[in-house]
């Protein structure tokens, strides 16, 4: 198989590239050149924010591919331009979208037939809200590839290579030890996908010719907040003591779910939207999610290999609770 990975040097794109290389595929990555391309790939360089000039290397290469995988999360015009260029040169187009394309709030258990965000165009170019950008990217992929387009609507993505900082923050905080503010209840259900499991599913599904939208997440409760943080303690070998704290106490103190305490959301609309979506279609199509302990252990090993410093996407804010705020709450 010949794969064109649009991106391919960080997190999900890198996971897809690594999975394809493991299978013996021929891989070309098209990237901006900010990071070294993985060993064993062919590389093309360009900037998709620069319009036609930015994808000139793709246009001039003349190559053809069996599959294109695209993780773009900015203005959808970049997906439009790439998909149109490649429509006659690639067999299948897999776009890594997001469950953020659904109109908020999304009731628990809702799946691919849920109402979508509106007022979206694949021609949008500029600063576009995340959900609209992903939906616009979907429309661009569908417009160019039709029933050769696969839409992987992921939720929370974690695992080695994470450049948003959610699981790396928890691992680093727990590794420091001592009392740790843990957002309750510990039985809070989580829903996510390991980037490597998403990558394997994408390659399998596209190879089988699957098309249309799939919510590519674990079942709700594949892990709980308690199981995630217990795994962090066990993996790091820390003496951390998890101090489980009622959500009302945290919210009253101004602690922001998701950003101050990554991954965690209190019961309510946002938790239902992010951690209680349907998973059945993707799992029926072969998605398999590894145990949370394996994801945590492998992420810690990767993080330690980098000297404890996780990469940070420049277009995403840093996450994590201010140590002084944590200390005040623990003192209560």
Given a cut of 90, whether residue 149 has pLDDT beyond it is yes
pLDDT at residue 105 in the model: 94
Q: Which residues contact 264 (CB under 8 A, 6 or more apart)?
A: 183, 188, 225, 257, 258
Give domain 2-154's CATH number out of 3.40.50.720, 3.30.70.20, 3.40.720.10, 3.40.50.740. 3.40.50.720
Query: Contact 156/228 with Cβ under 8 angstroms?
Result: no
Residue-level pLDDT at 258: 97
Looking at residue 241, its pLDDT comes to 98
Look at residue 294 and give its three-state secondary structure.
helix
pTM of the complete model: 0.97
- Bond into 61 cis (ω within 30): no
Distance CA 92, CA 57 (A): 20
Q: How confident is the model at residue 154 (pLDDT cuts 50, 70, 90)?
A: very high
pLDDT of residue 8: 87
30 φ/ψ angles, rounded to the nearest 5 degrees? -110, 115
Q: Which stretches within 47-194 are classed as H helix?
A: 56-61, 77-86, 130-145, 166-175
pLDDT digits (tens, 9 = 90+) for 77-136: 999 999 999 999 999 999 999 999 999 999 999 999 999 999 999 999 989 999 999 999
Residue range 154-172: mean pLDDT, rounded: 97
Distances (CA, A) of 108 to 156, 188, 279, 289: 16, 14, 11, 20
Angle at the Cα of 258 (from 286 to 270), degrees rounded to 5? 70
pLDDT above 70 as % of the chain:
100
User: What is the percent of the chain with per-residue pLDDT over 90, rounded to a whole number?
Assistant: 98
Q: What is the mean pLDDT of the chain?
A: 97
pLDDT at 60: 96
CA 84 from chain center: how many Å? 25
* pLDDT at 2 exceeding the cut of 90: yes
Mean predicted confidence (pLDDT) in 279-302: 98
Which residues are bridge partners to 182 per DSSP?
244
- DSSP string spanning 15-66? HHHHHHHHTT-EEEEEE-SSSPPPTT-EEEE--GGGGGGGGHHHHHH---EE
Intervals of CATH 3.90.25 along the chain: 162-190+221-276+292-331
CA distance 289 to 272: 20
| pLDDT above 90: residue 314 | no
Segments of the chain assigned to CATH 3.40.50.720:
2-154
The β-bridge relationship of strands 223-224 and 189-190 is antiparallel
Q: Do 262 and 224 meet the contact criterion of CB atoms below 8 Å apart?
A: no
Q: Which fold has domain 162-190+221-276+292-331?
A: UDP-galactose 4-epimerase; domain 1 (3.90.25)
């Amino acid at each position: 198989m010949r794969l064109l990975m649009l991106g391919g040097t960080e997190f999900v794109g890198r996971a897809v590239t690594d999975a394809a290389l493991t299978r013996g595929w021929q891989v070309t990555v098209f990237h901006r050149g900010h990071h070294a391309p993985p060993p064993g790939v062919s590389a093309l360089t360009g900037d998709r924010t620069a319009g036609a000039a930015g994808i000139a290397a793709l246009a001039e290469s003349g190559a053809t591919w069996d599959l294109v995988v695209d993780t773009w999360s900015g203005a959808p015009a970049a997906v439009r331009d790439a998909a149109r260029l490649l429509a006659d040169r690639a067999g299948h187009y897999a776009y890594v979208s997001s469950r953020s394309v659904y109109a908020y709030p999304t009731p628990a258990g809702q799946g691919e037939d849920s109402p979508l965000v509106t007022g979206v165009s694949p021609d949008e170019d500029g600063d576009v809200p995340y959900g609209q950008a992903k939906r616009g990217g979907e429309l661009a992929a569908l417009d160019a590839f039709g029933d050769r387009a696969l839409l992987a609507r992921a939720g929370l993505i974690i695992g080695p290579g994470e450049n948003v900082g959610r699981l790396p923050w928890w691992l680093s905080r727990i590794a420091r030890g001592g009392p740790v503010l843990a957002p309750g209840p510990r039985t809070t259900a989580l829903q996510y996908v390991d980037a490597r499991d998403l990558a394997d599913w994408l390659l399998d599904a596209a190879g089988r010719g699957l098309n249309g939208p799939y919510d590519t997440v674990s079942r709700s409760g594949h892990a709980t907040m308690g199981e995630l943080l217990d795994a962090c303690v066990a993996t790091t070998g820390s003496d951390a003591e998890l101090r489980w704290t009622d959500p009302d106490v945290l919210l009253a103190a101004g602690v922001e779910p998701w950003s101050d305490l990554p991954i965690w959301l209190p019961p309510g609309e946002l938790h239902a939207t992010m951690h209680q979506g349907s998973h059945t279609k993707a799992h029926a199509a072969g998605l398999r999610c590894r145990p949370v302990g394996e994801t945590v252990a492998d992420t810690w090993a990767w993080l330690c290999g980098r000297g404890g410093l996780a990469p940070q996407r420049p277009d995403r804010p840093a996450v994590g609770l201010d140590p002084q705020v944590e200390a005040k709450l623990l003192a209560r």
